[in-house]
Structure 1
Amino acid sequence: MSSPTRMPWGFVSALSATQLISYGTIFYAFALLIEPMQRELGWSKSALTAAYSLSLASSALFAVPIGRLIDRGYGRAIMTGGSVLAAVLLALWSQVHNYPLFVLIWIGLGASMSAVFYEPGFAILARRLGLLARKGITMMTLVGGFASTVFIPLTHLLIDAFGWRSALLVLAAFNLFVCALLHLLFIPPSEPRKKAAHSPQVAPTAAKDPNHLLKSPSFWCFVATSVAQGMISTGIPLHLIPMLIERGFSLDVAVAAYSIIGPAQVAARLSTAFGERAISVRALGVMTMVMSVMGFALLPFIPAGSWLIAVFAGLYGASNGMMTIVKALLPVEFFGRENYGAIQGMIATPVRISMAAAPFAFGTLWAWQGNYDAVLIICLGMALCSLVAFVLNLAFARRV
């Protein structure tokens, strides 16, 4: 598919809106549903979160095949079907009384995540926009960054007003009547793969079979970077408030620090959008990893009650926000636009498995040590490893 000469803002805006709704209804709403489900059904928090972790593992299994289907031109069917599936499963969840069924629902939601979250959205943008993909991807992540800001309070209001079961039906309706319709109306219909193969935007080094990348040191360095950052991005949010309280911060200060992370993510993505011409994707990646290292190197030395905790939260949030853009754009530059969906799936598979394990692993470390010191050391080590792996990635990529 040839690259448009002007940005199709209607198409980009529609896909961005569906990211906001998909993340808000599937990913973020869960945290608010735990407590009312515990009260009514008597299931433990660990049992509920175990089902959620299984969904991330399930999404990893579907990532590559879904990416391959998008590469073949079936993006509209995949994302529309994913939103319909999410709607059906959320509605089924609203009626659940049986724990095994709840687990199966979340395994299915993992498949839906693979079809409607960032990776398939990035693949469709890259396929449609060509050289304009960076601007479109930045727009998508900028809008998607408000998912928690919009849907956490909205879900809270729905649960208070109607109860958790009816709230889930409203969230299901968002997926069916907004996301599915936008995907159906705005994503171009499927086209034969051969047209994409002759596109002038296809990287000259791209191979027809993306499995050749499994022999590439650059690819594995990028996977290592993504895995380390992915574990940090899912492990820390669950443990940050108790970690700060353990270090002597009051609950109010810990919550205030946590609230900085979301705006910092959005601000970093907005800065990236304005600095598109001044900052290359490679430089953006280095900045992302350096900020992560700086944040975790600073945290152990911040005294209780110090305003410097806001600096940590800002660095952590900005690094997370920029990492989403780096993961979207760098594979195009290093590995080519051909098979972009499959390549994103190949990267997402180990990343999502590690993301599913991170909260449990951090909790186990805390229980073993009796404090969060080991978790902080591990996070700093992973941040440093992600920086080293990214620099090696740049070095290997220059030799290709």
Structure 2
Amino acid sequence: MQGRAVWALALGQTLTYATLYYGFAALLPHLEAATGWTKAQLAAGPTLAFLVTAVLTPLTGRLVDRGLGGEMLVILPAVGAGGLALLTLAPTPLVWVLLWAVIGLAQSGSLYETCFAFLTRRLGDGARAAITRITLVAGLASTLAFPLGSLLGSALGGRGALLAFAVLGVVTVVPLNLWAVRVLRRSDRAGGGRAVPQPGLLARAMRQPAFWLIAAIFGAIWLNHAILITYALTLFESQGATPATAVLAASCIGPSQVIGRLALMLNEARVDNRMATRLALGSILLAAALLHLAGAAPLLIFGFAMAQGAGAGLLSILRPVLQAEKLGREGFGVVSGAIAVAPILATAAGPSVGAALLDWGGADGVIAACAALGGGGLLLGIWLTRRLQA
């Protein structure tokens, strides 16, 4: 039963990411057509959502420490679905933006950070295998979101598709997570009850250069990723791809994340953390180069999707590994929550920064900025893995 519960959580995370995280990017062209609002006006909503998520993540982390992670995994996806439903009624861009705060609240306690912390508390040493299973399945969230968004958007329009995403979240994620949480609590092997974190651990970690380097690396890469994912369809079409080809290429990002994670798992004995980190960061930089070259050969957008997906997929696993290696395991949860603020804020900024870059320099400006972020992340990663020791 425990194994089935983990798979249920994996499916729940997949659907949560597909609806709350990737839903906006998947529906962006249809939302523009349905509302008549600009990309910048629409993108301000997800930006606010991720800002709210960043502010609330330390609080939700403390709630997990107090044994309330399961409750958040059940209640907050329903809150997120309610937020999506309310968005369909937004009469003005201002109301649209403000309603995204509800999505931000939902994201703060329903995505990977909360799920992984809940599993760590409940499964102890068995959490690593469970987390790996979840990332392998949830890596397909974008593969689900983009085709589904295209299908529903064409059939129902942007607002109707948002409502359909909301219904999907309520009828699938909530019951899946509820059943999984109940099963995992009954089979608790690590004593994941209520506890109060030891004081001073976060302050000690923040005095170490490695803390800030990890935060900077993942902040840069997640800004890169947020921009490229949000405007993937727009960028692909600007490089000469047809709308259908653009949707197909965007749908390849998720499977590429899974492939990257599987490759790391199958080569753990030969690829250490240092090499894996550099390969993942190098893959992000390569992706930007391939997207630029796609202007001459549009099918290279598939190479971009493979490189971007594999790099991001690897990095989502490597962040906690690097934290444990460079900062130690004591106070892991509270330190992880603090480091997570940087990539969450970067994700918040991604839609608006991308919209500004498109207005300023078009697709070429976006690609150049993302290449700079990837290159900066790679240089910081080389520094982190070469010079700093735990």
- TM value normalised by structure 1: 0.81
| Distance in 2 separating the partners of 1:214 and 1:14 | 36
1:274 to 266, 277, 282: 266
Q: Which moved further from structure 2: 302-311 or 102-111? A: 302-311
* 1:153 and 2:147 are equivalent in the alignment: yes
Match of 2:19 in 1: 25
Match of 1:212 in 2: 204
| Distance in 2 separating the partners of 1:236 and 1:156 | 18
Asked if the contact 2:257–2:312 (Cα under 8 Å) also holds between the matched residues in 1, the reply is yes
Structure 2 unaligned regions, length at least 5: 186-191
1:26-45 correspondence runs (5 A): 26-34=20-28, 37-38=31-32, 41-45=35-39
Q: CA deviation at 1:246?
A: 5.4
Aligned residues: 381
Structure 1 counterpart of 2:51, which letter? Answer: A
Structure 1 unaligned regions, length at least 5: 1-6, 198-205
RMSD after superposition: 3.3
Asked if the contact 1:127–1:337 (Cα under 8 Å) also holds between the matched residues in 2, the reply is no
The 3-state SS of whatever aligns with 2:297 is: coil
1:227-266 correspondence runs (5 A): 227-240=219-232, 243=235, 249-251=240-242, 257-266=249-258
1:184 to 178, 183, 189: 178
1:50-69 correspondence runs (5 A): 50-69=44-63
* 1:384 and 2:386 are equivalent in the alignment: no
The 3-state SS of whatever aligns with 1:116 is: coil
Structure with bigger gyration radius: 1
The 3-state SS of whatever aligns with 2:91 is: coil
Percentage of matched positions with identical amino acids: 30
* 1:331 and 2:323 are equivalent in the alignment: yes
| Distance in 2 separating the partners of 1:131 and 1:220 | 27
| 1:324–1:184 distance in 2 versus 1, CA, 3 Å | same
* 1:358 and 2:358 are equivalent in the alignment: no
| Distance in 2 separating the partners of 1:36 and 1:240 | 14
| 1:282–1:64 distance in 2 versus 1, CA, 3 Å | farther
The 3-state SS of whatever aligns with 2:109 is: helix
Asked if the contact 1:16–1:144 (Cα under 8 Å) also holds between the matched residues in 2, the reply is yes
Match of 2:306 in 1: 314
| Distance in 1 separating the partners of 2:388 and 2:4 | 35
Structure 1 counterpart of 2:378, which letter? Answer: L
| 1:307–1:95 distance in 2 versus 1, CA, 3 Å | closer
Q: CA deviation at 1:77?
A: 1.8
Match of 1:394 in 2: 385
Q: CA deviation at 1:117?
A: 1.2
Q: Which moved further from structure 2: 343-352 or 138-147? A: 343-352
Structure 2 counterpart of 1:215, which letter? Answer: R
Asked if the contact 1:122–1:328 (Cα under 8 Å) also holds between the matched residues in 2, the reply is no
1:92 to 86, 93, 104: 86
| Distance in 2 separating the partners of 1:257 and 1:177 | 29
Residues 247-287 of structure 1: CA deviation (Å, up to 9, x unaligned): 6x443766665454333222112223333454444432222
Asked if the contact 2:226–2:346 (Cα under 8 Å) also holds between the matched residues in 1, the reply is no
| 1:301–1:50 distance in 2 versus 1, CA, 3 Å | closer
Asked if the contact 1:51–1:103 (Cα under 8 Å) also holds between the matched residues in 2, the reply is yes
Structure 2 counterpart of 1:191, which letter? Answer: G
Asked if the contact 2:34–2:157 (Cα under 8 Å) also holds between the matched residues in 1, the reply is no
1:47 to 41, 51, 55: 41
Asked if the contact 1:73–1:193 (Cα under 8 Å) also holds between the matched residues in 2, the reply is yes
Match of 1:108 in 2: 102
Asked if the contact 2:153–2:160 (Cα under 8 Å) also holds between the matched residues in 1, the reply is yes
1:297-308 correspondence runs (5 A): 297=289, 300=292, 304-305=296-297
The 3-state SS of whatever aligns with 1:182 is: helix
1:368-379 correspondence runs (5 A): 368=360, 370-379=361-370
| 1:155–1:303 distance in 2 versus 1, CA, 3 Å | closer
| Distance in 1 separating the partners of 2:161 and 2:231 | 27
| 1:46–1:90 distance in 2 versus 1, CA, 3 Å | same
Q: CA deviation at 1:227?
A: 0.9
Match of 1:11 in 2: 5
Q: Which moved further from structure 2: 158-167 or 42-51? A: 158-167
